[in-house]
Structure 1
Amino acid sequence: MSTLFGKICQIGYVVQDIEAAMQHWLSMGVGPWFHAENVNIDYFNYRGQASSALIGAAVANSGDMQIELIQMKNDGPSMWKEFVEAGGTGIQHIAYWTKDYQAVLDRARSLGHKVAQEGQIGGPTGRFCYFESASTPGTVIELSDISGPKGQIFEQVRLAALNWDGTNPIRKV
């Protein structure tokens, strides 16, 4: 448990082939997967500049832990692209979720954490940011606002996994 962010809620993987990655997780009994081929990001900034980064994403839960798969769809600048260009596939970030996004973000910034990329999905209560990790190489920290529709969707994903019987393993969204 982080005294700043709370509990880790999501492990995010950057993958080359999201379909193959979902099949891998399905073979371990994790699902169902909710897959958006092209994520509609309201706005996205990378290192202070607007970016046209486009991703596909899929989420599923294993217990209370959400697994996110991200595949780059273009060459728009982002930390995901940096990760791939550095030869990375696999765990790229861990995410903390909050219903008090601005207060947690402000506190993190006051403690010296710098935002490297940020955006919004589904309106003002769908903000997210990834903190710079240059001083501590390794997995990036994401902070995500779940006070709006995104939080409701994440809860539906969690509930779908609770008694999942293996049917309808990939659900397009």
Structure 2
Amino acid sequence: MIAAMAPSPIRQIAYFCADVRQSAARHHARFGSGPYFVADNIPLRLSRHRGADAPLDHSSAYGQWGDVMVEFVQQNNDGPSAFHDMYPRNSGRFGLHHVAIFVDDLAAAMDAWRAEGSETAFYGEMNDGFGFAFVDTRDVYGHMTELYEGREQLTDFYDFVRRSAQDWDGSDPVRTIRFE
């Protein structure tokens, strides 16, 4: 067990899909989750797959499903990625990709997971320098584990999504937002 990680509740469950809007709408219709906030072509200033620079263009839909955030993510470009590690391009396969947890120190957490045998499949930074990583935990859990520090900008976004679901009447279940 990675003692530095405990306790680390799951903050998000994420699914890789072909179309984030369609997947979010279906999930809402079946489970009442949402509303979903879709960010298209999320800008990254740094994108590394297994230690090598690899551009990643992706879009995500974020919504609330009970006590946890649910994300649907699609990759918009070809090339290697943590998503294609699990679901090869043009395979027609999609499904659970990762769960996300907050960590106190991203670099230390990545090192701790590596020491336990789980390599970093992806490291990225948003344009504002906010970093996140996918640790390859498929052999242990059957999916990746996303790590990010619980910085205010992230926790504020999680709070925004959660608050949006409170007393929501179900209208306008899929909405567009922008990440700069």
| Band of TM-score, shorter chain | 0.7 to 0.9
> Which of these residues, 150, 153, 173, is aligned with residue 154 of structure 2?
150
Q: Distance in 1 between matches of 2:141 and 2:33?
A: 29
Kindly tell me: are residues 44 and 98 of structure 1, through their superposed partners in 2, closer, same or farther at Cα, counting changes over 3 Å?
Answer: same
Provide structure 2 residue ranges, at least 5 long, that are not aligned to the other structure: none
Provide structure 1 residue ranges, at least 5 long, that are not aligned to the other structure: none
Q: Please report the TM-score for the alignment, with normalisation by the length of structure 1.
A: 0.87
- 2:142 is matched with which residue? 138
- 2:18 is matched with which residue? 16
1:74 aligns with 2:77: yes
Alpha-carbon shift at residue 71 of structure 1 (Å): 0.7
**Superposition pairs of residues 31-46 of structure 1, within 5 angstroms:** 31-46=34-49
- 1:95 is matched with which residue? 100
CA RMSD in angstroms, aligned pairs only: 2.1
Kindly tell me: are residues 122 and 97 of structure 1, through their superposed partners in 2, closer, same or farther at Cα, counting changes over 3 Å?
Answer: farther
Q: Deviations over 1:111-139 (max 9, x none)?
A: 34321111012523x21111124644721
Q: Please report the TM-score for the alignment, with normalisation by the length of structure 2.
A: 0.84
Kindly tell me: are residues 95 and 172 of structure 1, through their superposed partners in 2, closer, same or farther at Cα, counting changes over 3 Å?
Answer: same
Identity of aligned residues (%): 27
Q: Distance in 1 between matches of 2:55 and 2:106?
A: 24
Alpha-carbon shift at residue 51 of structure 1 (Å): 0.8
Q: Distance in 2 between matches of 1:15 and 1:56?
A: 10
Q: Distance in 1 between matches of 2:24 and 2:65?
A: 13
Task: Name the count of aligned residue pairs.
Answer: 171
> Which of these residues, 51, 62, 77, is aligned with residue 59 of structure 1?
62
Kindly tell me: are residues 62 and 135 of structure 1, through their superposed partners in 2, closer, same or farther at Cα, counting changes over 3 Å?
Answer: closer
